[in-house]
Amino acid sequence: MKVLVTGVTGYIGSHTAVELLAEGHDLIGIDDFSTSSPKVKHDIERVAGRPFTLLDLDLRNRCEVECLLASGEFDAIIHFAGRKFVGESVAEPMQYYERNLAASVSLAAAAQRHEISHVVFSSSCTVYGQPTQLPVTEETPIAPVSPYGRTKAMTETVLQDLCDATPSASVLALRYFNPIGAHPSALLGEVPSGPPNNLLPYIMQVAKRVRPFLNIYGGDYDTHDGTCIRDYIHVVDLARAHVLALDRAAETTGFEALNLGTGIGSSVLDVLEACEKATGRAIPHQIVDRRPGDAASMFADPSRAQQLLGWKAEANLPEMCLDHWNFERNLDVDALSA
């Protein structure tokens, strides 16, 4: 297929581009490089062994989006581009509504106008908010508790309406749990811009001695060791699911949402221990107050993805931490300390 990939030089976009190229798809990637670098193109091509086209395009620019979709003859769109931090979304909600929601609406409208029927959308388990029942299934109520989560839930609704009104359309919304790790080649991975918000990048910077210690947000949750539980999934497993989702989108119509996780919950201290083993270094840490808005425990029931895509996450936590470390250890320290 000829596939438009938005946010292609980002963390999940870049790993998915490799898998798509390996499967023989033709890619046109776009990015505005606000949180990633055009240099990633070279690394994607080096890992995949095939070239693709990369365009500098901000999805908020409706005219450019319209022109691209009018002339591109795309079979499908995989839509990653957007911001992803809960805390930032609380401080700057309009930026999230513009970049995540409004940009997705204009992309979807242009896709409908130009009869691009198949869309895979990068959603998040954040749409479930603070679920009261575990594991989280796709029937768990949608109840986001942050502007970021609301932009993902609202975009899903927009795409669902698009499908209801367009008999030929198919949309798969992939609800990611906690993606970590990096490509085993150590050429692709997550490059945080500024101090990291997420657990793994932060731990790795402590391991590199860029930061002195990890703050663990809360040690008194109702979990086996008092720290929060999440479902960490290797980014390459996640990337593989997108290729299968694209195949399914080409064969079906209508809207489907799928959880992408391992089904296994790990606490912050479990992750810390796995990272100490992977890096061979002690990771200084201290328990501090809870972070507002954190759910005590979140892990997926990934059985629908297994049933519909024939997909299952393969990597375990030690493998994820090792791959993450092998990428991160080579990153420029000056860039990280910004």
Q: Which residues are catalytic?
A: 148
Instruction: Using the Cα atoms of residue 75, residue 108, residue 250 and residue 148 in order, give the sign of their dihedral.
Output: positive
Nearest to ligand UDP of 255, 299 (CB atom)? 299
Which tokens belong to 204?
A: 């790795």
175-194: contacts with ligand UDP (CB under 6 A)? 178
Nearest to ligand UDP of 102, 145 (CB atom)? 145
Which residue of 78, 216, 235, 238 would you call a contact of ligand UDP, by CB under 6 A? 216
What is the enclosing helix (H) or strand (E) of 28? strand 26-31
Contact, 52 vs 272, CB < 8 A?
no
Q: What is the DSSP string of 218-252?
A: -S-SSSSSSS-EE-EEEHHHHHHHHHHHHHHHHH-
Contact, 179 vs 239, CB < 8 A?
no
Does 268 sit near ligand UDP (CB under 6 A)? yes
Q: How far is the CB of 336 from ligand UDP (least distance, A)?
A: 14
308-327: contacts with ligand UDP (CB under 6 A)? none
Other Cβ atoms closer than 10 A to 157: 12
Q: How far is the CB of 215 from ligand UDP (least distance, A)?
A: 5
192-211: contacts with ligand UDP (CB under 6 A)? 197-199, 202
Nearest to ligand UDP of 15, 118 (CB atom)? 15
Beta-carbon-side half-sphere exposure of residue 186 (alpha carbons within 13 Å): 11
Q: How far is the CB of 217 from ligand UDP (least distance, A)?
A: 4
Does 269 sit near ligand UDP (CB under 6 A)? no
Helix (H, G, I), strand (E, B) or coil at 204: helix
Question: Across the strands, what pairs with 3?
Answer: 27, 76
CA 127 from chain centre, in angstroms, equals 13
Q: How far is the CB of 6 from ligand UDP (least distance, A)?
A: 21
Contact, 255 vs 160, CB < 8 A?
yes
Which residue of 291, 303, 308, 312 would you call a contact of ligand UDP, by CB under 6 A? 291
Instruction: Using the Cα atoms of residue 4, residue 6, residue 8 and residue 12 in order, give the sign of their dihedral.
Output: negative
Question: Across the strands, what pairs with 215?
Answer: 286
121-180: contacts with ligand UDP (CB under 6 A)? 178
219-248: contacts with ligand UDP (CB under 6 A)? 228, 230
| CB burial of residue 310 (10 Å; 0-12, 13-18, 19+) | exposed
Which residue of 215, 307, 330, 337 would you call a contact of ligand UDP, by CB under 6 A? 215
Q: How far is the CB of 213 from ligand UDP (least distance, A)?
A: 10
Q: How far is the CB of 33 from ligand UDP (least distance, A)?
A: 23
Judged by CB under 6 A, the number of residues near ligand UDP is 14
Does 294 sit near ligand UDP (CB under 6 A)? yes
The residues binding ligand UDP (CB under 6 A) are: 178, 197-199, 202, 214-217, 228, 230, 268, 291, 294
